[in-house]
Structure 1
């Protein structure tokens, strides 16, 4: 009996010790839009991944925060963002009144959005999900990290090779000692002409969203007056077209998202109020303000059948669990993404390191009168550089959400949930790369940009946001890879009040565009250009000549091969003609196949490395 008892004690103590420490390759903390995407991508990249979320739902602000109408990135449907978007639309496609237009804003009930994300995660191998799991501490562990969380009421240490801080406010990175920037950057600091002359510690307002339902007209669904209710806070709504305002936030199943400005439920906030010490106190005050708004709509504006449905959120007051936060603090990353990367992407070489895309309109929500108005030009779709999610002075620590490394002015778009879902996928692939090759000494200090981008393209992520080439195109990847080298550049072109990014596949290749990159990339290019001296437009004959020179193939043999394959294999639109200008589409396809310039390594600044 004593032997059995001793064995039982030993087993119990062993199991207890095991339960106190968990090992994983990648740990993602924060089930936000970016956090979910990072966890999914990391696991799909075949590394052991854990996703920890302190709350009960996945999706962050677009579900638990009630921000469930997404109009950003609706034309950039690819990767995990495209997968989520499709599943939501499939769920609602038979719902009366649901907009099934291909590029319509994505609308969903918060609970449904969270459930769809949970279902996706449950199908992903190598991914362990832990909801309702708070984190309390983080410390370095060699090139990896140790994070303390609470599971079943007990502290547990998670040891990980790579840590992704996908919390809404960068709390874990702050615990790790990361340096941050806050508020408006100065013009001198960022070089942005639209930045103010002096830095300002002012951040965008937050919104505590309300999701309400329209009950039958003969139904009175009045709520109790909330604590501290002051109707004078909402008087600016009198005389407004409330029906129209509600309609702008219409959701499926007779529900509405209320995300209004002025005297409604968008509130000024300071950096101090969002600090961990002050945050909960501030949250309580604005939750009450939002409850007061709904009470005012019912009792003062006469919408007695508009109310908060008890079953949408599990919180005590039935409001979203968290607020919709646009800005807090931004980590100092390996690179900092600013307006230059959005409006003039070829001013430097960061475009070569793209891991995500975005096009969400710039937000400007400031109650503080000190905040200057920024006159942004029309926004083009843009790329997000790899170095913006990598913390500068840490090893194997990545950040997303509002904490990624951007300027204040760029953050006004990048923080948007649908943009962050693409950013998260990029961060997940980066984390997986570092974990997978950890035994070879790979860390965030020596990233292989092309390997990470290749992994993202393997999983159908979009790296360059063309409006005129579909991701379903047979040679879409070839176009993306050639774009990544800079051989063929994106073209920004105004369309009404907007700016679209085009590839212009049927346009002629201009020699002056491709020559500098060919010279930079291929050592023999100088000899070929000196000998052949192509004209202003690069012809099919020029391309055949260059390819034969590079591949050491007899020119006539290559010409005959391409002539035979031109229409039957490649299915190009125009007939094979050595004398005509080669199109950008033809050039991208053939250069990608024969030269493979994408295989040339670049560092996180986009510089070619040997």
Structure 2
């Protein structure tokens, strides 16, 4: 008995003299908020070792109706994975968009507890944060240390940025009133609203809005202002994907491949450019997203009732002259085709001819498109070479045969060679 007591005393002394545990992670998300939860889940799901730090005793963000729509997608993913495990049960099998905080709190816990690559650190106030090479070192008040490649500040009012004296108003690119009059929409990773509840405009948010100027591997959640309100879960998902990319590929925020991040977001069902005339269950939904992000056929902000929405104008047609400038930006070779083909309205035959010339394909392309018109491309219209081609038909075919989304862009949306 004495020997046992003596051993306990030695262990107690050693526990005070041994250095505090150091946690090493790829991404550290700080902040018990809806964007913080979304960022941590997405970062982990995208393959980065992720830690989620909060001073609270549980992950308990306040969720809006828009946030619950996002949570539903996360839940469905979690539930689908869970069903594949023999005997596994979902703690909250049904999803109710009118659920109360204690209900979605249980769901959040169930998701976070079963997300691979995610460590949740509760009840842990931060004492100090400082740069450590390309990454960061964080000291908690309990003496614990965290070393991380990337920090995501998802705190209320961007508290971490403020103590580091990082000006969150000086990001690499700030949101603009109509990004479709610029090239910013090409680097979209999330959505936001401007205006009021009675008259609002939905806008895409570019990647640069998450990256404070002058500091690397520190990602912020874009701030709400009087005229700008990000969709919480949307910006959180984007922040987590950006952070995960840097950690996974061992790179810094200035070297991010915008298209790779957007592709990852689309893989997880993100609506980067919320097109009001394209439903999520459309079989070509992702093709429209890629086309809208490329700008080869650009959507536009359109007034519907008291609100402004983003429309692709799927039924619209266009002339060769309207297509000439965007095609020139992507494919200089195409200008030879336009010089010989001036069309007031582009037909299906004209579009196929343009694809064949630009992609250097032969006559077999026309037969391939005709054979796949209904089966592969899911078009309900009749294949008729002489009929004007709609923007919907052109977008889906161009995404397949011209691959404009494959062309990389910088944070400002400029094409990179």
Q: Deviations over 1:497-539 (max 9, x none)?
A: 2233222323224444432221111121222211222x23222
Deviations 1:437-483 (A, max 9, x none): 11xxx211121100000010111111110122122221111110010
Deviation at 1:83, TM superposition (A): 3.2
Match of 1:385 in 2: 206
TM (norm. structure 2) is 0.87
Q: Distance in 1 between matches of 2:16 and 2:264?
A: 39
Q: Residues 197-346 of structure 1: matches in 2 within 5 Å?
A: 330-338=168-176, 340=177, 344-346=178-180
The answer on 1:548 being equivalent to 2:356 is yes
Residue 246 (structure 2) aligned to one of 414, 434, 448: 434
* CA-to-aligned-CA distance 1:6-38 (integer Å, 9 cap, x gap): xx97x9679943x43110000000121001110
Q: TM-score, normalised by structure 1?
A: 0.61
CA distance in 1, matches of 2:415, 2:389: 26
Indicate conservation of the 8 Å contact 1:145/1:159, yes or no: yes
- Gaps of at least 5 residues in structure 1 are 63-69, 94-105, 180-329, 364-376
Shift of 1:113: 2.4
**Residues 545 and 80 of structure 1: CA distance in aligned 2, closer, same or farther (over 3 Å):** farther
Q: Pick closer, same or farther for the CA change 1:575–1:351 going to 2, 3 Å.
A: same
Retained in 2: the 8 A contact 1:60–1:168? Answer: no
Q: SS at 2:336's partner residue?
A: helix
Change (3 A) 1:44 1:476: same
Distance change (3 Å), C-alpha of 1:80 and 1:91:
closer
**Would you say 1:507 and 2:316 are equivalent positions?**
yes
**What is the CA–CA distance in structure 2 between the aligned matches of 1:116 and 1:177, rounded to whole Å?**
36
Farther off after superposition, 109-118 or 589-598: 109-118
In structure 2, the partner of 1:581 is: 388
3-state DSSP class of the match of 1:609? Answer: coil
- Judging changes above 3 Å, is the alpha-carbon distance between structure 1 residues 119 and 511 closer, same or farther for their aligned structure 2 residues? farther
| CA RMSD after TM alignment | 2.8
Match of 1:592 in 2: 399
Paired residue secondary structure (1:124): coil
Match of 1:298 in 2: none
Distance 1:422 1:577 in 2: 41
**Offset from partner CA, 1:240-270 (integer Å, 9 cap, x none):** xxxxxxxxxxxxxxxxxxxxxxxxxxxxxxx
User: Cα offset for 1:115?
Assistant: 2.2
1:262-286 deviation per Cα after TM superposition (whole angstroms, max 9, x unaligned): xxxxxxxxxxxxxxxxxxxxxxxxx
1:527-542 counterparts in 2 under 5 A? 527-533=336-342, 535-542=343-350
* Residue-pair matches, total: 398
Which of 135, 142, 164 is residue 176 of structure 1 equivalent to?
164
Distance 1:15 1:459 in 2: 46
Alpha-carbon shift at residue 410 of structure 1 (Å): 3.6
Q: Residue 354 in 1 paired to residue 188 in 2?
A: yes
In structure 1, what is the Cα distance between the partners aligned to 2:125 and 2:67? 31
Larger-Rg structure: 1
Structure 2: unaligned runs, 5 residues or longer: 80-90
The Cα of 1:405 is off from its aligned counterpart by 5.8
2: distance between equivalents of 1:486 and 1:384?
Answer: 15
Aligned to 2:41: 40
